[in-house]
C-alpha cells in the first residue's frame, strides 16, 4: 500500500503542476481574505517566487527560510522553493528574537522570506549573529531578507518571467525540514524527502480521510506546523480541492467567523482549540453544518472532550497520531468508525508495533513503546547524529511514545515515555488523570506531570486552568474527585490553579516547563 514515486520526482509537480496538466487550472485552489485564487494563479505566482529566489542566489539543496502568515504568498514561497530544487524551512513568524537567532544559526538558511511588520525582529537576530564574529558567523544569518509585502518585491515578482522549469529532484532528496514537537530543549530539524509527502498523501489523505475535489479545508494550526502543511495545503491540492487560509491568530471567535465565511467541509483542529470552542459562549448554537468531518492531532484528545464535541456538534472527529519523523498521521480513527479516547487503527501502508524496552513485540493489552515503519520515514535529524541513531533503527522509527493496542487493533495513547509515571510501583498515564479532571465542570484545561516528593518518590501533580467563576477551594476538592473515579494512587498529590499553561513553539503544552515548578503561575506562552 506504500507509494513509490519515480526516481526523478518533485512534489511541486505532484501537488500543484499536475493539477494544471489534468485540466484543473481554473479550479479554485485557495480561499483567503484577499479573495479566491485558481490553481493556474498559484502556479504562476509560485514560478515568479522561484525565479526571484534563484536570482537571489538560491541553488538546489540550499535552505530557504519562510516566516510568513498563512496566505497565497506563503503557498507561493513553498512551491517556488521546491520548484528550484531548494529545501523549505518553515518558521513561526512570531518567534522571539533569541529563538530566531537559534534557527538562523542552526539551519544556515540562504534566504529569508518575511513580512514588513516582522522583518525588524528577524533583521536584529541576523545582525546579532554576524556581530559575534568568528569562523562561519556569516553563514549564521541569511544572505538576503526578502519582504514579500514590500512594493519593490511585489513589483519584481510581477515583472519576472514565469517560464521556470521545475528542477528534477531525486525522490530521496530533502524537500522540507520539519521541527520536532518535543516539549524540552531546542527543536530538532527533521529532514524529510519528496517521497514522504507523497506517500502519506496517498495512504492517509486519500486512503483514510478520503479527500475529494469538492472539499474545502480550514485549519487551526498554521502552515508552519507539518500537520497543517499536509491537511490544509498538500492534501487538498493533491485532489484539486480548496484550502482556506487566514493570517490572524486563531481564537474561537476568529475560527467560528471563518467557518461561517468559508463553509469548510474538513476542519483541521487540535485539542486545545476544541476545548476553547466548547467553552465559548453560545458554542452549541454555532453553525458547523458545512463540515463532513474534523480531525485532531498534535496532542492526544481526551475522551471527555470528544464526548462534549459530539454532544455539541455531532460531526465525526477523527483523532490520530503522527510525527515529524514520519511526517504526518499513521494512526487514525476513520469516518464512520470512531473510537473516542483512542488513536484508532494503523493507516494502510504503515506498520505500527507495541514493543518492550528490548524491542520485542508485546501482546495486546500491554503498554509499550511505539515503533513504526513506512515509506514516509525521514532521513534523520540535522546535526543530531546520536539522537538519529537512537530514534531511527533501520527501517523503523522509535518515537518515545507509549501506547497500548486492543484485540481489534485500536491503539490508545498513554503518553511520552518521559511523561509516564511510576507511582507506587505501577505505571500511571498522565492522560488518564487529565481526562478524569476534565470531567469536573469547573476544569477547563488540565495537565499532570510527575515530581519527586520529600521521600524521593514520584507523585502526580496537576496544573489546572479553571472555568471562570469557579470555587476557590477547587484545588482542595479535585484530588478527591479523581480518587472516586480512578485508583487512589492516580489522584494528584497537589493541584496548582493557574491562568494559563506554557506552550512550545508548535503550541503544545510544555510539560518540561511545569516539572519542578513551585506553584507559581506559568503564564508565559513559550514560542508564541
Q: For a pLDDT cut of 90, what percent of the chain falls above it?
A: 76
**Burial code of 337-372, b = ≥16 C-beta within 10 A, e = fewer?**
ebbbbbbbbbbebbebbbbeeeeeeeeeeebbbbbb
190 compared with 130, residue with greater pLDDT: 190
Radius of gyration for the chain, computed over Cα atoms and rounded to the nearest angstrom: 23
Q: Quote the pLDDT of residue 186.
A: 85
Alpha carbon distance 442, 484 (integer Å)? 17
Taking residues 508-524, report their average pLDDT: 63
Identify the CA nearest to 303 among candidates 396, 178, 437.
437
Domain assignments of the chain as residue spans, ordered by start: 11-201, 428-514
| Among 93-97, 163-167, 470-474, the least confident range | 470-474
Whether the per-residue pLDDT at 386 is higher than 60: the answer is yes
Whether the per-residue pLDDT at 452 is higher than 90: the answer is no
Q: Are strands 426-428 and 421-423 parallel, antiparallel or unpaired?
A: antiparallel
Whether the per-residue pLDDT at 527 is higher than 50: the answer is no
| Alpha carbon of residue 96 to chain centroid | 19
Which pLDDT tens digit goes with each residue over 255-308?
999 999 999 999 999 998 998 999 898 888 899 999 999 999 988 888 989 999
Alpha carbon distance 494, 475 (integer Å)? 8
What letter does residue 247 receive in the DSSP assignment?
A: -
Average pLDDT score over the chain: 91
| 448 neighbors 434 (Cβ within 8 angstroms) | yes
Whether the per-residue pLDDT at 248 is higher than 60: the answer is yes
Strand partners, 375: none
Collapsing DSSP to helix, strand or coil, 464 comes out as: strand
Q: Which fold has domain 428-514?
A: GMP Synthetase; Chain A, domain 3 (3.30.300)
Q: Quote the pLDDT of residue 495.
A: 95
Domains 11-201 and 428-514 share a fold: no
Taking residues 193-214, report their average pLDDT: 98
Q: What is the DSSP track for 49-105?
A: HHHHHHHTT--TT-EEEEE--SSHHHHHHHHHHHHTT-EEEE--TT--HHHHHHHHH
Taking residues 68-86, report their average pLDDT: 98
Q: Which CATH architecture has domain 11-201?
A: 3-Layer(aba) Sandwich (3.40)
Q: Quote the pLDDT of residue 160.
A: 94
| Among 40-54, 135-149, 203-217, 470-484, the least confident range | 135-149
Q: Is 286 exposed, middle or buried (0-12, 13-18, 19+ CB in 10 A)?
A: middle
Indicate the pLDDT class of residue 137, thresholds 50, 70 and 90: low
Q: For a pLDDT cut of 70, what percent of the chain falls above it?
A: 94
Taking residues 157-186, report their average pLDDT: 88
First to last CA, the chain: 39
Whether the per-residue pLDDT at 523 is higher than 90: the answer is no
Length of the chain: 528
Amino acid at each position: 500500500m506504500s507509494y513509490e514515486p519515480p526516481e526523478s520526482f518533485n512534489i511541486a509537480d505532484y501537488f500543484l503542476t499536475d493539477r494544471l496538466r489534468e485540466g484543473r487550472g481554473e479550479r479554485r485552489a485557495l480561499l483567503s481574505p484577499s479573495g479566491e485564487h485558481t490553481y493556474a494563479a498559484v502556479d504562476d505566482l509560485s514560478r515568479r517566487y522561484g525565479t526571484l529566489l534563484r536570482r537571489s542566489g538560491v541553488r538546489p539543496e540550499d535552505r530557504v527560510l519562510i516566516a510568513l502568515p498563512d496566505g497565497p504568498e506563503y503557498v507561493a514561497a513553498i512551491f517556488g522553493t521546491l520548484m528550484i530544487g531548494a529545501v523549505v524551512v518553515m518558521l513561526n513568524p512570531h518567534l522571539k528574537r533569541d529563538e530566531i537567532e537559534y534557527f538562523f544559526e542552526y539551519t544556515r538558511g540562504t534566504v529569508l522570506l518575511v513580512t514588513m511588520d516582522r522583518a525588524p525582529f528577524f533583521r536584529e537576530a541576523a545582525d546579532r549573529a554576524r556581530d559575534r564574529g568568528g569562523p562561519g558567523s556569516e553563514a549564521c544569518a541569511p544572505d538576503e531578507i526578502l519582504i514579500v509585502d514590500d512594493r519593490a518585491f511585489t513589483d519584481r515578482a510581477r515583472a519576472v518571467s514565469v517560464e521556470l522549469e521545475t528542477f528534477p529532484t531525486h525522490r530521496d532528496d530533502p524537500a522540507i525540514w520539519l521541527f520536532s514537537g518535543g516539549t524540552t530543549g531546542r527543536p530538532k530539524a527533521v529532514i524529510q524527502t519528496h517521497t514522504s509527502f507523497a506517500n502519506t498523501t496517498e495512504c492517509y489523505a486519500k486512503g483514510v480521510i478520503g479527500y475529494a475535489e469538492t472539499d474545502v479545508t480550514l485549519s487551526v494550526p498554521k502552515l508552519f506546523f507539518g500537520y497543517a502543511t499536509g491537511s490544509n495545503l498538500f492534501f487538498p491540492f493533491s485532489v484539486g480541492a480548496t484550502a482556506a487560509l487566514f493570517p490572524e491568530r486563531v481564537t474561537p471567535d476568529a475560527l467560528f467567523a471563518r467557518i461561517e465565511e468559508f463553509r469548510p467541509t474538513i476542519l483541521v483542529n487540535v485539542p486545545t482549540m476544541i476545548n476553547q470552542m466548547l467553552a465559548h459562549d453560545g458554542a452549541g448554537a454555532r453553525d458547523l453544518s458545512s463540515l463532513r468531518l474534523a480531525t485532531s492531532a498534535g496532542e492526544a484528545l481526551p475522551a471527555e472532550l470528544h464526548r462534549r464535541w459530539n454532544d455539541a456538534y455531532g460531526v465525526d472527529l477523527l483523532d490520530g497520531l503522527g510525527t515529524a519523523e514520519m511526517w504526518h498521521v499513521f494512526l487514525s480513527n476513520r469516518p464512520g468508525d470512531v473510537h473516542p479516547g483512542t488513536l484508532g487503527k494503523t493507516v494502510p501502508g504503515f506498520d505500527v508495533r507495541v514493543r518492550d524496552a528490548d524491542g520485542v513485540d508485546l501482546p495486546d493489552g500491554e503498554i509499550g513503546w511505539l515503533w513504526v515503519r513506512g515509506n514516509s520515514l525521514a532521513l534523520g535529524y540535522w546535526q543530531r547524529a546520536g539522537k538519529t541513531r537512537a530514534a531511527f533503527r533501520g527501517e523503523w522509527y522509535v518515537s518515545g511514545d507509549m501506547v497500548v493496542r486492543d484485540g481489534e487493533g485500536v491503539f490508545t495513547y498513554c503518553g511520552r515515555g518521559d511523561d509516564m509515571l511510576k507511582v507506587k510501583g505501577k505505571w500511571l498515564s498522565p492522560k488518564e488523570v487529565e481526562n478524569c479532571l476534565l470531567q469536573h465542570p469547573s476544569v477547563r484545561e488540565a495537565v499532570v506531570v510527575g515530581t519527586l516528593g520529600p521521600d524521593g518518590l514520584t507523585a502526580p501533580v496537576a496544573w489546572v486552568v479553571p472555568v471562570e467563576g469557579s470555587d476557590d477551594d477547587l484545588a482542595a476538592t479535585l484530588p478527591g474527585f479523581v480518587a472516586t473515579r480512578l485508583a487512589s494512587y492516580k489522584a494528584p498529590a497537589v493541584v496548582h490553579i493557574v491562568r494559563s499553561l506554557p506552550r512550545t513553539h508548535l503550541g503544545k503544552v510544555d510539560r518540561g516547563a511545569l516539572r519542578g515548578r513551585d506553584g507559581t503561575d506559568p503564564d508565559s506562552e513559550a514560542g508564541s
